[in-house]
Amino acid sequence: MTENESTHFGFQTIKAEEKAQRVRAVFDSVASRYDLMNDLMSFGIHRLWKRFAVELAGIRRGQKILDLASGTGDLAARFAGLVGPDGLVVMTDINESMLNQGRVRMADEGLVGNVCYTQVNAEQIPFPDNSFDCITIAFGLRNVTDKQQALNEMYRVLRPGGRVLVLEFSHPRGKPLQSLYDFYSFKFLPKIGKVVANDEASYRYLAESIRMHPDQDTLKGMMEQAGLERCDYHNLTGGIVAVHRGFKL
């Protein structure tokens, strides 16, 4: 995107050049309570969603993994155990506060030998072509300004035979579930943010950003446009969340 183009920040339309800074401010605000809020918002189900994504990733010992938008490292911690001492997990986030939270957590869990950290914008991944066996991004793609460019970059740095996994909030299947989800997202979720994190606005943005994210079939098409093949997706919890997967053949 050029600096004169517009994009969405939740339901607001803003200049594309402003989005990264605004997203950074949101996660600066919520970083210290991020894990607690994840458990409260999803009633702990996010752990099952992430476990399913890890299983789909098919990580093997000795592999090199890039985890984009790592946050506090839920996926990276699992990958570190799977790749073993001869493998490598590159844990990244565009937000320094979130990356620092993840670094502290990984040190606390003793995961220091095969994990490295770097601040990365997913639209401009600073690694050579064909560098990684698997690339993951969990609950981060919707915050990226130019999602197609990010997917193009993932394809570029993925090795032939590797896979990309996108775990993200999506579009629930069926009107009853959609209506219930809307009520929860816009009435209940911001109130949790206000009480627990003292930040109602950031959690209102998160709810809005989910609604503006491409639906399952649109995102699958974007992955195919990036060059990924055999793309599919798996709906979880009625489509509230979906795991998309694509391969570089």
The predicted-structure confidence for 83-98, as pLDDT tens digits, reads as follows 999 999 999 999 888 8
Positive or negative: CA dihedral 59, 98, 142, 122: negative
Q: Would the pLDDT of 2 be above 60? A: no
Predicted model pTM: 0.90
| 72 in a known ligand binding site | yes
Tokens at 17, concatenated? 């050049």
Mutual orientation of helices 147-157 and 216-225 as an angle, nearest 10°?
50
| 74 in a known ligand binding site | no
Q: Would the pLDDT of 81 be above 90? A: yes
| 118 in a known ligand binding site | no
pLDDT tens digits along 212-247: 999 999 999 999 999 999 999 999 999 999 999 999
Q: Which pLDDT does position 200 carry in this prediction?
A: 86
Mean pLDDT of 31-39: 74
User: Rounded to an integer, what distance in angstroms lies between the CA atom of residue 169 and that of residue 196?
Assistant: 22
pLDDT tens digits along 142-189: 999 999 999 999 999 999 999 999 999 999 999 999 999 999 999 888
Q: Which CATH class is domain 18-173+205-247?
A: alpha beta
Domain boundaries, the chain: 18-173+205-247
| 217 in a known ligand binding site | no
Distances (CA, A) of 134 to 34, 150, 187, 204, 206: 25, 15, 37, 32, 27
User: Rounded to an integer, what distance in angstroms lies between the CA atom of residue 89 and that of residue 97?
Assistant: 19
Tokens at 150, concatenated? 């990010």
Mean pLDDT of 202-212: 88
Q: Which pLDDT does position 142 carry in this prediction?
A: 94
Say if strands 6-9 and 12-15 run parallel, antiparallel, or are unpaired. antiparallel
